[in-house]
Each structure stands twice: as C-alpha cells, then as structure tokens.
C-alpha cells in the first residue's frame, strides 16, 4: 500500500471527533488489559498522528511511534515539538523494509492491521521486536461487510475474526491471550465493533 492516502488524510486526522473517541477508548482498553509501568519501552506500529501513543505516554518510559506516511509523521513531530514531549519519538518507516532494531516491552497498534496485506508476516515482524515476556496489543475491526471504508481504494481486510487472530498469536509462542471490545464505531446506520487482542510473548 502506498502512503498517499494517509498523507492526504493527515491534515484533518486529529479533528475527527469519532476518531478521537475511538483512539481514547483503544488506549483505555490497553491500560485495562496490560500492566503498564514507567519502566516499559514501547513501539506503536502505524501510529498516524500518535493519538493512541499520546494517551499512553504518561504510563510508559518511552514510545517509538512508527508510520510509513510522511504526512502523518510530520503532524506527530510537530505535536512532539509543540508540547515538549521528551519520551515520544516519531519515526517514518515501513516495518517490512526498515524494521526497528530494538526489542521493547510492549508493541501496540490501532486500526492498522486491516491495511496490511500479509498479516502473518506482520505478526512475525512485530514479535521479533518484542522482548520475551513483553506484551502485544492489537486493536482492529471485527469482521465487517465491507461498508466501513467508503472512500478507500487500496487493499483492505474487511475486519478480522478474533479467535483466528488469537490462534495466530498462540502459534507464535504467545500466551495469556485475551480479547475484549474496546470501542464501537457507529456510522452508515451500522455498528462496527473494534476489538483489542492482547497477548504475552512466552519468555
């Protein structure tokens, strides 16, 4: 997938109240599901303008927020400089071609998975960056009928089956798997539940 779609969207990304509520709820669900601490380092994959990272930052030591859209990362960088956020780093990179070299205690993402063609390869790439005993937290849409994205012409999964995703994590040496509903998006006269799946990499 190319980045132009998200570069264009980045200008108005933070002013969408539906997105603001959803990212707040995803962050709250991560806080409920994962024992966060100020000693933990984290990576957010597909951070956009960093809405979820900015919510979680006070509860962690540091976050490396990565996204391949220069437009999104420029917005986040601007926010970091304006607010003087010391422990949040914005990195413009594609996790498949330029994987980060560090291992962290927590990897999280919100609403990114459905934009990734090869989700099995993504899970492999993410788990390589996770320390043994570290946590992974993935939020995305439950299986939907394809109506969620009206204006997107790139590749999409129409949501995911929670149990299948959990099995994919278990088959990659993750335990303590759990799923919960983090948020429900209401649009097109429909409800689109957003799950949060969490797991711990076996030490």
Ligand X SMILES: C[S@@+](CC[C@H](N)C(=O)[O-])C[C@H]1O[C@@H](n2cnc3c(N)ncnc32)[C@H](O)[C@@H]1O
Give which of 33, 90, 28, 86 is closest to 55, Cα–Cα. Answer: 28
Residue 175 C-beta: closest distance to ligand X, Å: 25
Instruction: Give the CB-side neighbour count of residue 123, counting CA atoms within 13 A.
Output: 21
Classify strands 62-67 and 88-92 as parallel, antiparallel or unpaired. parallel
Give the helix/strand (H/E) hosting 127.
helix 119-128
- With respect to ligand X, which residue has the nearer C-beta, 8 or 170? 8
Q: Are 71 and 10 in contact (CB under 8 A)?
A: yes
CA dihedral of residues 20, 127, 6, 91 (deg, nearest 10): 90
Residue 162 C-beta: closest distance to ligand X, Å: 19
- With respect to ligand X, which residue has the nearer C-beta, 170 or 187? 187
Write the CA distances from 124 to 31, 37, 118, 128, 149, integer angstroms: 24, 25, 10, 6, 27
- With respect to ligand X, which residue has the nearer C-beta, 25 or 177? 25
- With respect to ligand X, which residue has the nearer C-beta, 36 or 137? 137
Residue 75 C-beta: closest distance to ligand X, Å: 10
Q: Are 42 and 108 in contact (CB under 8 A)?
A: yes
Give the helix/strand (H/E) hosting 187.
strand 174-187
- With respect to ligand X, which residue has the nearer C-beta, 48 or 159? 48
Residue 153 C-beta: closest distance to ligand X, Å: 14
| Residues engaged in binding ligand X (CB under 6 A) | 1, 3, 6, 19, 23, 46-48, 51-52, 66-69, 72, 94-96, 110-112, 115-116
Q: How many CB atoms lie within 10 A of CB 173?
A: 12
- With respect to ligand X, which residue has the nearer C-beta, 119 or 200? 119
Distance, in Å, from the CA atom of 154 to the CA atom of 146, rounded to the nearest integer, reads 13
Residue 145 C-beta: closest distance to ligand X, Å: 18
Residue 26 C-beta: closest distance to ligand X, Å: 7
């Amino acid at each position: 997938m190319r980045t132009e779609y998200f570069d264009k969207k980045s200008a108005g990304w933070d002013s969408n109240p539906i997105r603001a509520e959803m990212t707040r709820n995803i962050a709250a669900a991560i806080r409920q599901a994962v024992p966060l601490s100020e000693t933990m380092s984290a990576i957010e994959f597909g951070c956009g303008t960093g809405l979820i990272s900015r919510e979680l930052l006070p509860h962690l030591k540091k976050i490396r927020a990565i996204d391949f859209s220069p437009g999104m990362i420029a917005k986040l960088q601007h926010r970091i400089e304006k607010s003087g956020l010391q422990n949040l780093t914005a990195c413009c990179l594609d996790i498949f071609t330029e994987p980060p070299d560090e291992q962290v205690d927590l990897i999280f993402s919100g609403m990114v998975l459905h934009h990734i063609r090869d989700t099995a390869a993504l899970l492999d790439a993410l788990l390589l960056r996770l320390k043994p005993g570290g946590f992974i937290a993935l939020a995305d849409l439950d299986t939907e009928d394809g109506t969620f994205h009206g204006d997107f012409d790139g590749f999409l999964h129409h949501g995911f089956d929670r149990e299948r995703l959990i099995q994919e994590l278990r088959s990659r040496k993750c335990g303590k798997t759990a799923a919960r509903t983090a948020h429900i998006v209401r649009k097109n006269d429909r409800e689109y539940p957003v799950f949060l799946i969490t797991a711990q990499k076996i030490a």
